[in-house]
């Protein structure tokens, strides 16, 4: 019987299940894109570490040239050995374990005083991977990095003359033929940190050491000259030859393999926003499940009540709902993972076409742990999302098939708590945190650990009660906006307002997301205005820092940091989730829509009502949230200056100017939120299908 119920539920509620799967796929695609990008960057970095990889390393001041004396003053941490001895050590170690030696020195060219780092590498290098043009360097040749070739304006076949960078001796020169140019490793997010600017073959290492030494030393008493060049030897595994010289440190970077932490570290600014957007989408799905679950259960009330009359138990209905959601969720997981990997591949193809000179991975790197993680996250979300409609559906009484009952989408499952309790707890927590912070800053209580714990407890109390207040405020805002719209004179305005008043809980998520996220955007804009003026503005200084122009702050700090674009992405994701929730919950409005159609509301009027309903809620919440975020950050700034003796209390003019900058930035963020939410609301209007009352009710029934 359960499988039969699953089949019928999928058939009757396919719109809801399709939207649930789409939302799950959307969230997983964002998370997969960010993590696969990080894994791909990590894999590329590991592949490029053949220039100087390995688990162990030793540093040598290598002595070169006839007549050089190994002068050790007894205070040197780095051992000094003749070049022939170092070369012999490398050869012996290479027979034991994979070993790489790199002779490095600094040089200049022409009139430029900028140092160029020259390296001769002993291990074989896959030059075809790194060369943008030309071939691997041979005797008397070098390969230039892309940036050096571009700066100097030289290419394959040209000659380059390098001068010693050390100023403690006579200048020496060496001329090389450019055999090739390397690809650029500066395309975000696939940064590749190659350890040198110019590469020469290992066979020329001693000649380079003589011609471009790192430095020379002359003993004052004997007149002996020591010509020195830096050498790094690195290796994997245990080498008896090199073990006495092992420093226990790494030179440059090493191949570390994949880890989730490393994938996070290797994401760039867009990657961070992608992860944040994915987290928002996941949290939004869980929150939205309550509204969608109510709407789903309300739409199938008659169906559920009927099968209850036919003998189905609450457990049977709940189990069928769980199986149904699991089936759909597996499809969403597969689609989300595939879409995330495909997005990384598409981004690589785009970057490769736009930057043919760039050193880019050949394709996405997808470690199995990422697939397992994605499946685990998807199943966890599915379980949470499935519980809500299963709960609401199982609450249906058999009497619902026989007579009208309270719509389950608006029925309360427990006694509602007024706003007084959360407000009182918030006030008490804020007061306690303020007092504890004042005591902590002035060192009145010596047990700082206890004060820190108490501060965190007070912070958690404030955060939880603030979340409850935001939820209650969002719910009240929906009712208030609906009442205002219902006073309109046009039929579509009245229809929009009545829909909000009748289905307040359904639009609570849209209101809450716009309120909270636009508030966060406004906070970030105001915080940027405060901190951009002086990096240490919160921790003292002398005098008042100068006030930059609004344009310079906006362009050089807030916009350049990627916050504006990133926060725009975040509010866009929230809008997508809110729109999906509304569209998935349309069946809850079927009876109202049929009634309005019977009373003469046209299809255009129904579409206008749907779009207005969504934008009125999210737009008003965005305005309120933006102003709230700005005000809270300004109060925190002024309060911090008053409570902390380490924080400067600047003049009223300075504080007002910064507050004005923050308000202007917050207004721009509110504008972004209004634009994004308007686009989502228009999409709802376009996707709203109107028809006769009978057609509307038939579509709602599946």
Confidence of residue 370 (pLDDT cuts 50, 70, 90): confident
How confident is the model over 549-603, as pLDDT tens digits? 666 666 655 554 555 566 667 777 777 777 776 776 665 566 666 677 777 778 8
Following DSSP, what letter does each residue of 77-110 receive, concatenated?
A: SS-EEEHHHHHHHHHHHHHHS-EEEEEEEEEE-T
Residues paired with 63 in a beta bridge? 82, 228
pTM here is 0.65
How do beta strands 198-201 and 116-121 pair?
parallel
How do beta strands 141-144 and 80-82 pair?
unpaired
Per-residue pLDDT for 219 more than 80?
no
Task: Calculate the alpha carbon distances from 483 to 385, 399, 497, 597, 611 in Å.
Answer: 31, 32, 6, 21, 17
Which of 173-177, 206-210, 488-492 has the largest mean confidence?
A: 173-177
How confident is the model over 153-200, as pLDDT tens digits? 899 999 999 988 876 667 788 999 999 999 887 787 787 767 788 999
Per-residue pLDDT for 143 more than 90?
yes
Strands (E) in 455-557, as ranges, are none
Q: Can you tell me the distance from the alpha carbon of 668 to that of 568, in angstroms, rounded to the nearest whole number?
A: 11
Q: Can you tell me the distance from the alpha carbon of 341 to that of 364, in angstroms, rounded to the nearest whole number?
A: 7
Q: Is 207 exposed, middle or buried (0-12, 13-18, 19+ CB in 10 A)?
A: middle
Residue scoring higher pLDDT (60 or 124): 60
Confidence of residue 478 (pLDDT cuts 50, 70, 90): very high
Identify the pLDDT of residue 660: 85
SS3 letters across 295-337: HHHHHCHHHHHHHHHCCCCHHHHHHHHHHHHHHHHHHHHHHHH
What's the token pair of residue 306?
């009927």
Confidence of residue 332 (pLDDT cuts 50, 70, 90): confident
Contact assessment for residue 662 and residue 630, using Cβ atoms and an 8 Å cutoff: yes
Identify the pLDDT of residue 259: 45
Confidence of residue 404 (pLDDT cuts 50, 70, 90): very low
Q: What percent of the chain has pLDDT over 70?
A: 67
Q: What percent of the chain has pLDDT over 90?
A: 13
What's the token pair of residue 67?
């007549």
Which of 89-103, 210-224, 676-690 has the largest mean confidence?
A: 89-103
Average pLDDT over residues 428-451: 82
Least confident of 205-214, 272-281, 575-584: 272-281
Residue scoring higher pLDDT (328 or 342): 342
Q: Can you tell me the distance from the alpha carbon of 60 to that of 228, in angstroms, rounded to the nearest whole number?
A: 9
How confident is the model over 11-26, as pLDDT tens digits? 666 666 777 777 778 8
Q: Can you tell me the distance from the alpha carbon of 687 to that of 15, in angstroms, rounded to the nearest whole number?
A: 13
Q: Can you tell me the distance from the alpha carbon of 64 to that of 229, in angstroms, rounded to the nearest whole number?
A: 8
Contact assessment for residue 325 and residue 289, using Cβ atoms and an 8 Å cutoff: no
Burial 306-344 (b: 16+ CB within 10 A, else e): bbbeeebeeebbbbbbbbbbeebbbebbbbbbebbbebb
Identify the pLDDT of residue 176: 95
Residue 477 host element (H or E): helix 448-486
Angle between helices 14-48 and 563-584 in degrees, nearest 10:
150
Q: Can you tell me the distance from the alpha carbon of 172 to that of 327, in angstroms, rounded to the nearest whole number?
A: 73
Confidence of residue 421 (pLDDT cuts 50, 70, 90): confident
Average pLDDT over residues 3-13: 64
Look at phi and psi of residue 219 and say left if phi exceeds 0, alpha if psi is from -120 to 50, else beta: beta
What's the token pair of residue 248?
């226990």
Identify the pLDDT of residue 599: 72
Burial 69-85 (b: 16+ CB within 10 A, else e): bebeeeeeeebbbebee
């Amino acid at each position: 019987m359960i499988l039969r119920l699953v089949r019928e539920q999928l058939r009757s509620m396919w719109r809801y299940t399709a939207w649930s799967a789409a939302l799950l796929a959307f969230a997983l695609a964002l998370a997969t894109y960010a993590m696969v990008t990080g894994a791909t960057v990590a894999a590329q970095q590991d592949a490029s570490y053949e220039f100087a990889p390995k688990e162990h390393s030793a540093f040598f001041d290598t002595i070169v040239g006839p007549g050089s004396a190994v002068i050790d003053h007894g205070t040197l941490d780095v051992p000094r050995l003749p070049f022939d001895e170092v070369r012999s050590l490398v050869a012996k170690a290479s027979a034991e374990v994979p070993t790489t030696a790199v002779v490095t020195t600094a040089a200049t060219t022409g009139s430029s005083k900028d140092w160029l780092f020259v390296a001769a590498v002993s291990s074989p290098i896959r030059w075809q991977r790194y060369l943008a043009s030309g071939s691997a360097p041979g005797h008397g040749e070098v390969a230039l990095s892309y940036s050096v070739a571009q700066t100097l304006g030289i290419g394959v076949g040209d000659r380059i003359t390098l001068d010693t960078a050390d100023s403690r001796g006579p200048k020496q020169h060496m001329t090389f033929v450019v055999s090739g140019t390397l690809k650029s490793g500066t395309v975000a997010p696939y940064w590749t940190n190659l350890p040198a600017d110019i590469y020469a073959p290992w066979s020329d290492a001693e000649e380079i050491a003589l011609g471009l030494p790192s430095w020379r030393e002359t003993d004052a008493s004997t007149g002996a000259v020591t010509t020195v060049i830096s050498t790094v030897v690195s290796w994997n595994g245990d080498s008896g030859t090199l073990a006495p010289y092992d420093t226990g440190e790494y030179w440059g970077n090493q191949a570390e393999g994949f880890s989730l932490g490393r994938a996070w570290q290797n994401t760039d600014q867009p990657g961070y926003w992608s992860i944040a957007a994915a987290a928002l989408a996941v949290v939004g799905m869980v929150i939205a499940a309550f509204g969608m679950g109510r709407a789903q259960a309300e739409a199938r009330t008659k169906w559920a009540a009927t099968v209850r009359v036919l003998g189905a138990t609450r457990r049977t209905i709940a189990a069928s709902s769980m199986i149904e959601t699991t089936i759909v969720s597996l499809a969403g997981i597969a689609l989300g993972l595939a879409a995330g990997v495909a997005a990384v591949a598409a981004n690589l193809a785009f970057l490769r076409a736009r930057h043919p000179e760039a050193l880019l991975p050949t394709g996405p790197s997808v470690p199995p742990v990422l697939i397992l993680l994605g499946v685990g996250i998807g199943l966890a979300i599915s379980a949470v999302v499935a519980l809500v409609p299963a709960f609401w559906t199982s609450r249906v009484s058999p009497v619902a098939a026989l007579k009208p009952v309270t719509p389950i989408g608006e029925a309360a499952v427990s006694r509602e708590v007024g706003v007084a309790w959360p407000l009182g707890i918030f006030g008490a927590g804020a007061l306690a945190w303020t007092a504890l912070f004042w005591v902590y800053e002035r060192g009145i209580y010596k047990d700082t650990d206890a004060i820190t714990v108490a501060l965190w407890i007070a912070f958690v109390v404030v955060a939880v009660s603030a979340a409850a207040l935001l939820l209650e405020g969002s719910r009240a805002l929906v009712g208030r906006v609906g009442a205002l719209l219902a006073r309109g004179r046009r039929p579509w305005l009245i229809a929009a307002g009545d829909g909000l008043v009748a289905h307040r809980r359904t639009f609570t998520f849209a209101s809450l997301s716009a309120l909270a996220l636009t508030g966060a955007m406004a906070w970030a804009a105001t915080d940027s205005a405060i901190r951009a003026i002086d990096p240490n503005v919160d921790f003292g200084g002398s005098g008042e820092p100068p006030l930059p122009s609004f344009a310079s702050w906006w362009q050089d700090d807030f916009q350049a940091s990627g916050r504006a674009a990133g926060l725009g992405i975040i509010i866009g994701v929230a809008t997508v989730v809110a729109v999906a929730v509304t569209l998935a919950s349309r069946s809850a409005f079927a009876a109202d829509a049929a009634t309005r159609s019977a009373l003469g509301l046209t299809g255009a009027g129904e579409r206008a009502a749907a779009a207005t309903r969504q934008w009125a809620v999210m737009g008003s919440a965005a305005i309120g949230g933006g102003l709230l975020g700005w005000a809270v950050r300004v109060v925190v700034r002024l309060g911090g200056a008053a409570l902390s003796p380490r924080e400067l209390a600047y003049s009223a003019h300075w504080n007002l100017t910064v507050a004005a900058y923050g308000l202007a930035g917050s207004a721009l963020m509110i504008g972004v939120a209004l634009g994004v939410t308007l686009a989502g609301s228009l999409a709802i209007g376009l996707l709203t299908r109107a028809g006769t009352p009978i057609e509307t009710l038939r579509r709602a029934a599946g």
